[in-house]
A and B are shown apart, each in its own frame.
Chain A
Amino acid sequence: GGIITQTPKFLIGQEGQKLTLKCQQNFNHDTMYWYRQDSGKGLRLIYYSITENDLQKGDLSEGYDASREKKSSFSLTVTSAQKNEMAVFLCASSMGNYAEQFFGPGTRLTVL
């Protein structure tokens, strides 16, 4: 088995601030993902990466940057936090195509 850790668990920022969320996995999975979940609703894909240094845009990439520094880690930056940004950000990883995605515990973002 493996585990996905996300830091921080809670993130409070000011409107307009640049904020970074981090994710680490020890599954040795190739693909990693960042999703946003608003208020108990479905997941929307922000960015994903199929290997180290690769980056693919999801449906919600505007206003975000991402970086796959190494196979085990994937970070997400909110470039300028907005009040409607308040959501849970979930990191996931999978072995590849048509493979189960495993999710981390999430980072809850609040923008004041």
Chain B
Amino acid sequence: QQKVQQSPESLIVPEGGMASLNCTSSDRNVDYFWWYRQHSGKSPKMLMSIFSNGEKEEGRFTVHLNKASLHTSLHIRDSQPSDSALYLCAANANSAGNKLTFGIGTRVLVRP
């Protein structure tokens, strides 16, 4: 059973549009979420992290976290073709130390 669920599996967004990605953990010990971006043929790179309830914004990227429901979402506004990538959500549980659990990812395609 996948402890970190991501939806949708894939997403097509017009250039300039908004992409919204979701991630939920089923592990009640999770207290930190990460979003990584992986361009095709490249390795994952950290995009944003969040551990407090609420919202965090960095440029065109906004992350929300609801700790009660263990749900996080990533929103990309003014999407660019260079945002086309696999977006991976990962969760840190306070009982698991350095160990991250990754979801299977959401593949985003931004159409010019």
Write out the residue numbers on chain A whose beta carbons fall within 8 Å of the beta carbon of B46. Answer: 100-102
Whether B44 and A58, one on each chain, are in contact in the complex, defined by CB atoms closer than 8 angstroms, is no
Of all chain A residues, which has the CB nearest B51? Answer: A98
Of all chain A residues, which has the CB nearest B103? Answer: A42
* Cβ-neighbour of B43 out of A50, A100, A105 (below 8 A): A105
Whether A106 and B103, one on each chain, are in contact in the complex, defined by CB atoms closer than 8 angstroms, is no
Number of interface residues of B (CB under 8 A): 25
Whether A40 and B97, one on each chain, are in contact in the complex, defined by CB atoms closer than 8 angstroms, is no
Number of A-B residue pairs, CB cutoff 8 Å, is 52
Write out the residue numbers on chain A whose beta carbons fall within 8 Å of the beta carbon of B32. Answer: 98
* Cβ-neighbour of B102 out of A31, A40, A42 (below 8 A): A42
Chain B stretch 63-98: residues in CB contact (< 8 A) with chain A? 86, 88, 90, 92, 97-98
Say yes or no for A97: interface residue by CB 8 A criterion: yes
A99 to chain B, nearest CB (A): 8
Say yes or no for A109: interface residue by CB 8 A criterion: no
Write out the residue numbers on chain A whose beta carbons fall within 8 Å of the beta carbon of B99. Answer: 45, 48, 56, 58
18 additional A-B pairs beyond A40-B86, A58-B99, A100-B46, beta carbons within 8 Å, are A40-B107, A42-B104, A42-B105, A43-B44, A43-B90, A43-B102, A45-B100, A45-B101, A48-B98, A90-B43, A97-B98, A98-B51, A101-B100, A103-B44, A103-B45, A105-B42, A105-B43, A106-B43
